[in-house]
Structure formats: structure tokens, C-alpha cells
Structure 1
Amino acid sequence: MSEKDLEIHVPVTVETAWRALRDKESVLQWHGWQAPDLENEVNQIFFDEAVEDAENHVLTASGGDRFTVTADGDGARITVTRAPLSGNAEWDAYYEDITEGWISFLQQLRFALAYGITTPRRTHFLSTDRSRVDEVTRRIGLSEVAGLAPGSRYEAEIAGERVHGQVWFRSANQLGLSVDEWGNGLLIFGAGMAILTTYELSDAEFAALGERWRGLMPEASPVH
């Protein structure tokens, strides 16, 4: 794997993993977070401007990032090979942010496939200045799980809620936790953002969750 490759192992067949990339309703359950333009974004990246090689399970998304699905032991491996820098300074300034986004979304895909999730998700997305990540980490309570390895069970007070789950993944800049109390949901935190993926919460529970997190995670300053 090259330094420009991102990959996950999923406990499903190659055909099931490929379908998660080619069925729009499936993509909408793991890509990004809920937003008014999510469906348009998914259409552009994965369908309207994508090039598909179904026989070899290779998809080149808009922008040139390439997804490859291969057999891997008792499951499948999904690899994203980042497109090279474009040479356009304005666009390339976001290259690392896009890489961080793919790390998050691949882990959301792995989570959905590992648990066979078909229930519609509801998400909160929050962003903050990267210079304040350490401060926000302490404020939210994620310091309690700082020393735990992926796969470990945890119990912690996070954003004013006692929660349980599993350390789902760690990367250089991100931490993922499953959260039993969110309907076996997923928290991804790092790189200046948080994605809170929930299932089967009531409207009141979902709204209260967003309010707690917004109160602890100051919004990112606008770019001038």
C-alpha cells in the first residue's frame, strides 16, 4: 500500500462491498453526513462523473480518487487511491482535508458493513478550529479513552452522557468510537470535526444530543 492509499477490511463478500459503492441508497448511508446537498454530492462523486469497471470492481470517482474492491481472507478489502495533486494551488490546499474526509467515510462504510446496518441514520456534524482540538478533546471527555487500543471496550462520560462501546479505529488525526446508547451509533472525532451517527433515537433524544455537543464544541472561525 502506498502512502496515498487508504484501506479497510470488511467482513463481507466482494460483491456485497461493491454493491455498497454502486447502490445510491447504500452510499447515502455511509458517505459524509446528512445535509441538504448530500444526494447531489453522492450523485456527482459516485455516479454522474464516475468511471466504473464492474468486472474488476474498480471505480474512479469524480476528481480521480480510485476505489478498488478485492478479496481479502474471509472478507473484502476496499482501497482508495488518492488522485495526485492537481497543480491548482486553490484546489490542492484542500488535499489533506479531503484525505481526512475519506478516512472518516471509509470507517463509516466499514461500520455499516460490519454490522449489516440497514436502518436509516441520523447525523450531527460539527466543526471547530484545529488549533483548539486538544482543548475540545478535554472538554468533551475523550481524554478518558485516550490510551485504549482499537477493539477495546470503553465506558466514559462524553459530552455529558455516560456511554459505552468499542474503540472502532484510530488514525493519525482521528478517533472513532461505537456508542451503544446511540442505537449502536458511531462517533468520529478529530481533524477539526465531529460526526455523530445515530440510529433509532427519538426526535427529542437526537435534538438534545446535538445541543450538548454544540455547547462544548465551538464552531470553526470563518475563513477570510
Structure 2
Amino acid sequence: MLREPAKVAQWHGWDYDGLAEEIRLIFFSPGVTEGQDHRSLTLEDGDTFLLEPGPDGTVVTVERGLPEPESEMADWYADITEGWISFLQQLRFALERHPNTDRHTAFFAGTPSDGQAIADRLGAGSVGEPGDPYSLTLPGGQEITGRVWFRTEHQLGLTVAQYAEHGDGLLILAEQPVTEGVRDEPSSLVIASTYALGAKALHSVWDGWEAVRRDHYPDADPLVTSALGRTGKPST
């Protein structure tokens, strides 16, 4: 899942026109080095993936490299760390729940019109701890159910029964705080990963999130979604 571009695309980031090139630059540039024991992968920016045996399987961690203090990347350091948290959780979910099923995603990020955190807006702020069940009705009327997948200071991950034909999908809600040199106002971010949904169900999910974006995040770009094939079904 770290050394094959098609597999990296099942957990890294979200689907958009530039994802393949992003994956190539991050994971397959000439400066990327793999450990002799095949248990580490160091990227050009110094970030290192480590694979270690754990009691229930393999533990994957990322050790962040340190950017030059005056570089542009120093301003984005916290955002990139949060991104790796999201993406490693997506990796864990893909391996444990959908190792052989392609994902299809919806994404948006923007400043809330009233400053409210995305989890609070959706009624998800108090859903509980990892493993706890939840049931929510989103602002557009869609009902989602599942369990808490992970929770950190700035992120909440929820499994969603309605996001997969078999099993469940994953919803990540993240807050991006004010950061000097990056943003002057707090921002919210949503990544919805679905699996094997038909076109009608998939468009229903996407339409619901586009309505949330339009009504509450007016400065955000339109929802970014996976491409569809000629049949109207998700392309792979």
C-alpha cells in the first residue's frame, strides 16, 4: 500500500485531477529511499514511514522531518501533520475494511459562515470515543449511522454504514485552526470515502455534502468528487 501508486491512491488524500501526480512526487521521486529491511520509507522532505509488528498486526507511523525554519514549508508544518493523521487513518480503514475495493471520495474545505466547527454543526461533537456507536441526521436530511473510528484534537473519523454497498465507508471531519502565514480564520475540512455504491446512492451522498458546503461554507470551492465513467458509475 506504500509502493504501488494505484494502492496509494486508495488511501492518500482524496480523488482529484492531480492526485496521481501528487502521489508520484511524494512517494516515487528519485530522493525517496526505502530501508534495506523494507520496513521504512523516507520521503524527500525527511518524513519517514515506519512499519513495525504489533499485537494485532502491523503498526504504521510517520516521523516528521523538520523543515528549514524560514521556509514556506515551515508555515504548513502543522497542516501537513494533520494531513498525515487523516491519511494514515484512511490507510488503516482501507486495509481493515476494504482491501480489495476501490474508494470514491467527496471533499471540501472552507471557512464556516458562522465560525462553527464542522463536527458541532453536524451534531457530531459529542458522539463519544472510538468504538462507540452513533446516529446523526445531517443538515440536508441524510441519516448516517456507524461507529467512531478515531478522534484527535482537531479531527473526528466516523464509519458510515450508508457509504458502502457492503460494510461501511469513512467520514473524516477536521478543523484547521488559524495559522500564521497560512490562514487568518479557522477552516473546516470534510473527506467522505464511499465503497461500491451505485450511481444513485453515490450522487445522493455527494448532493448532501454539496448542500452543506453551499449553505454553510460559501467561500469554499465546489465539492471535489471522484470521476464517473460513461455509464454514470464510478470509474476505477
Instruction: Report the TM-score when normalising by structure 1.
Output: 0.82
Tell me, yes or no, if structure 1 residue 197 matches structure 2 residue 193. yes
**1:156-167 correspondence to structure 2 within 5 Å:** 156-159=136-139, 160-167=141-148
Amino acid corresponding to residue 196 of structure 1 in structure 2: A
Question: Which consecutive aligned stretches of 4+ in structure 1 deviate over 3 angstroms post-superposition?
Answer: 130-133, 135-139, 219-222
Q: 2 CA distance for matches of 1:55 and 1:128?
A: 42
Cα distance, 1:76–1:133 mapped onto 2, change above 3 Å:
farther
Tell me, yes or no, if structure 1 residue 33 matches structure 2 residue 14. yes
Q: 2 CA distance for matches of 1:167 and 1:118?
A: 23
Amino acid corresponding to residue 168 of structure 1 in structure 2: W
Secondary structure, counterpart of 1:64 in structure 2? coil
Cα distance, 1:68–1:216 mapped onto 2, change above 3 Å:
same
Q: 1 CA distance for matches of 2:17 and 2:190?
A: 18
Deviation at residue 221 of structure 1 after TM alignment: 5.9
Secondary structure, counterpart of 1:142 in structure 2? coil
Tell me, yes or no, if structure 1 residue 92 matches structure 2 residue 88. no
Q: 1 CA distance for matches of 2:200 and 2:38?
A: 46
Q: 2 CA distance for matches of 1:74 and 1:172?
A: 25
Tell me, yes or no, if structure 1 residue 207 matches structure 2 residue 188. no
Residues 155 and 174 in structure 2, CA contact (< 8 A), matched pair in contact too: yes
Secondary structure, counterpart of 1:178 in structure 2? strand
Cα root mean square deviation, aligned? 2.0
Q: 1 CA distance for matches of 2:112 and 2:27?
A: 29
Gaps of 5+ in 1: 1-19
Q: How many residues align?
A: 201
2:27: which partner in 1? 46
Amino acid corresponding to residue 23 of structure 1 in structure 2: E
Tell me, yes or no, if structure 1 residue 149 matches structure 2 residue 145. no
Amino acid corresponding to residue 67 of structure 1 in structure 2: F
Gaps of 5+ in 2: 176-187, 222-236
Deviation at residue 40 of structure 1 after TM alignment: 0.8
**1:128-147 correspondence to structure 2 within 5 Å:** 128-129=110-111, 134-143=116-125, 146-147=126-127
Say which structure is richer in helix.
1
Cα distance, 1:94–1:81 mapped onto 2, change above 3 Å:
same
